[in-house]
Structure 1
Amino acid sequence: MADSQSAAVDTPNSKPMIRPADPRFSCGPVKKHPGWTWEGLSEAPLSRTHRAGQAVARIKEAIDRTHALLELPEGYHVGILPGSDTGAMEAAMWSLLGQRGVDVFGWDVFGKRWILDARDELPLDDLRIFETPAGQLPDLAQHDGKRDTVFTLNGTAAGVWVPDLDWIDPAREGLTLCDATSAAFAVDIDWSKIDVLTFSWQKCLGGEAQHGMLVMSPRAIERLNSYKPAWPIPGLLQLHSGGKANMAVYEGSTLNTPSLMCVEDYVSSLKWASRIGGLPELVRRSEANFAALDAWVKQSDWLGYLCEDEAARSPVSVTLKFTDPRIAVMDAEAQWALTKRICSLLERENAALDISMHRQSVPGIRIWCGPTIERDDLAALGPWLDWAWREALDAA
């Protein structure tokens, strides 16, 4: 609950009376789950090899709880990889692609990273790229079920998400590779349309960074068993063993040494999610959070959604651009300076931390609405945004 703190001053722009109880609205790493404590990690098998029985059991528990919480279909496998979501996604791309043509849909900082990987690093011979600026969704109807497809489910830095997967061919021959790091555990996912999905612990459930999760369908495992790309695959991205799928990855083995402290932290977040009602409650919390912030955005006269298409507007990583006409005449650097002043004022007041837009996007504000955030804190945030805006604009 938001705590009441009287901070009125004798100026026309008085500070709001209610301050968010927790000011951490960063889009990544995101806020820890409610009730998190260091004591909750006291059972971590520290100073043990990750190959020891207790450590392997804890890693396997993280895998099994992930499978259960995401409500994965039978036959889907979950593995832990190094390098956060980036490592998991690149492992999938390096190990699976190249058998057939590939389509990459990109509109976000990281979606465009997958474009660079496919075009410049692998590089793929038969490649189609569908790319749009931040705030716009590509034409997903260009999807061809005979080809492999790479896409981002929720663009963290662009405020754009894919509202449904109806555009994916249910009888497809190719694989769908989905970067869902800002969507897993916050929105419903149609697993019948997903062959490979990746995410990181630092996103929706507030875990620590460095580790990525890889979800593989039976069709993806079959691709590994029947095909291996001609290009060299770094060991940290290698999903094969002896020319077949390395199934040990999905049983608690890892491609490098994981942090058992981070594993324990992730298990703690999974337990919290199960206690409060599982995936349905996580999605409900995220939807309620977005509704609270959306009510303020709709009445704001200086901020609006970067994504103008309401259907494609992300309800998780809310990305806002300046709409006041006085800002439109400023160049980008001046707008970034204004963003910095707003964020500095809010941090000084401990009202909001780390809400500046991603530097590779456009100037503005980015606010996380995932399930570890409290709705009351988002409701209390709006007046503070207005206060900081007026203060920063007066100083501009």
Structure 2
Amino acid sequence: MNLTFYPGPSQLYPQVEGYLQDAYSSGILSMNHRSTAFMDMMAQTIAGLHEKLNIPLDYEVYFTSSATECWEIISQSLVEKSSLHAFNGAFGAKWFEYAQRLHPAFGHEFEFNTLLDVEASEHFAKSELLCLTHNETSNGTALSYQSLKHTRKNFAGLIAVDATSSMAGVVLPWEMGDVWFASVQKCFGLPPGLGVLIVSPRAIEKAKAIGERNHYNSLLFVRDNFQKNQTPYTPNTLAIYLLGRVMQQVPPIELVDDEIVKRAEDLYAFFHDEGFEVLVDKPSVRSHTVMALRGAEGWINALREKALENGVLLGKGYGTWKNTSLRIANFPALTDSDLSRLKKIMESQNPA
């Protein structure tokens, strides 16, 4: 297997191989994380994220071990009373379930073929934090700009957004959320082991008002260190270095977005022409970075097996659709040539 469309961990940028050797040769991997060399490297990586992803300058960027750790940081440091979680799939549900272990949390599950309508929840006006999943990896849905804009306008509290399968792949409306987070093993085209946490001035003020400093990953303690270009614990230096190199390599996010959307439209048209059934019926809520097809379990297994025989890995189904769907990543590290190879394998594999 030499090509993967698995939606995380997923295909690496081919340049990463050289960056690994560069990291070793540079000596940065042996540097103390309080050293000038490390602090300069991390500052450059954060600057690259601001520049290439067009993150507002007053939004601060921190690194964590994973996107999952960000769930914990948000619950510990930004919630005094309760949070509201709107979700339509397995990963949003997992975030909700974990938050309930730390504080009162309320769930608002909506059907995955519908637009977000979190105002229907009786807890909408009373919650201090609203948690959303921008791109639900389990079923291939995504929140539209208009949905986020409408929610931002009508929700008074903070909004936290899990963008694990979309950050660095599509343009994100940063001002529509106060906390954004992701892991690097998807659209960043990197190995797993690093989370990116992005917080707004409003979120920082809320953290200060709560004043929670009981944990090593409390938001204020993390921030104290990052303001000095340091980390609260010994970090994944290699992952931070690789992320910085990738940010130097990639074009601005607007150009990446154009390419990802164009390829997604091409793939969805191919699926339609070949008679494949897309899990998400409503085009306006379909993801551009993770696509899900549905069908009988036997057909799903046969298609994945044929792909494997040709050196290509397709993503298994997840959650409710574990046995009756497969998922296909459309991440920036993949190329038009890779997609052509995928389509050639899938041609004439219509389940009908």
TM-score (norm 2): 0.88
Give the SS at the match of 1:198.
strand
In structure 1, C-alpha distance between the alignment counterparts of 2:211 and 2:89, rounded to whole Å: 29
Query: What residue in structure 2 maps to residue 115 of structure 1?
Result: 96
In structure 1, C-alpha distance between the alignment counterparts of 2:228 and 2:284, rounded to whole Å: 39
Q: Name the larger-Rg structure.
A: 1
Quickly say closer, same or farther: Cα 1:344–1:252, change in 2 above 3 A: farther
Give the SS at the match of 1:263.
helix
Quickly say closer, same or farther: Cα 1:88–1:118, change in 2 above 3 A: closer
Query: What residue in structure 2 maps to residue 16 of structure 1?
Result: none
Matching residue within 70, 88, 106 for 2:87: 106
Query: What residue in structure 2 maps to residue 130 of structure 1?
Result: 108
In structure 2, C-alpha distance between the alignment counterparts of 1:353 and 1:177, rounded to whole Å: 32
TM-superposed deviation, 1:136: 5.3
TM-superposed deviation, 1:49: 2.1
Quickly say closer, same or farther: Cα 1:359–1:224, change in 2 above 3 A: closer
Query: What residue in structure 2 maps to residue 385 of structure 1?
Result: 346
TM-score (norm 1): 0.79
Query: What residue in structure 2 maps to residue 180 of structure 1?
Result: 163
Q: Which amino acid aligns with 2:278?
A: Y
Quickly say closer, same or farther: Cα 1:50–1:27, change in 2 above 3 A: same
Matching residue within 36, 51, 61 for 1:68: 51
Matching residue within 340, 354, 374 for 2:335: 374
In structure 2, C-alpha distance between the alignment counterparts of 1:278 and 1:40, rounded to whole Å: 23
Give unpaired runs (5+ residues) of structure 2. none
In the alignment, does 2:206 pair up with 1:206? no
Query: What residue in structure 2 maps to residue 263 of structure 1?
Result: 240
Give unpaired runs (5+ residues) of structure 1. 1-20, 328-334
Query: What residue in structure 2 maps to residue 219 of structure 1?
Result: 202
Matching residue within 300, 311, 333 for 2:274: 300
Matching residue within 299, 319, 325 for 2:292: 319
In structure 2, C-alpha distance between the alignment counterparts of 1:282 and 1:258, rounded to whole Å: 28
**Cα deviation per residue 1:201-227 (whole Å; 9 max; x = unaligned)?**
111111121211110100000011111
Matches within 5 A, 1:277-292: 277-292=251-266
Q: How many residues align?
A: 343
TM-superposed deviation, 1:137: 5.2
Query: What residue in structure 2 maps to residue 142 of structure 1?
Result: 120
What percentage of residue pairs aligned between the two structures are identical?
Answer: 21
Aligned residues of 2:90 and 2:319 also touching (Cα < 8 A)? no
Query: What residue in structure 2 maps to residue 94 of structure 1?
Result: 76
Q: Which amino acid aligns with 1:299?
A: D
Matching residue within 215, 219, 244 for 1:239: 219
Aligned residues of 1:79 and 1:252 also touching (Cα < 8 A)? no
RMSD: 2.6
- Compare the two structures and name the one with the higher helix fraction: 2
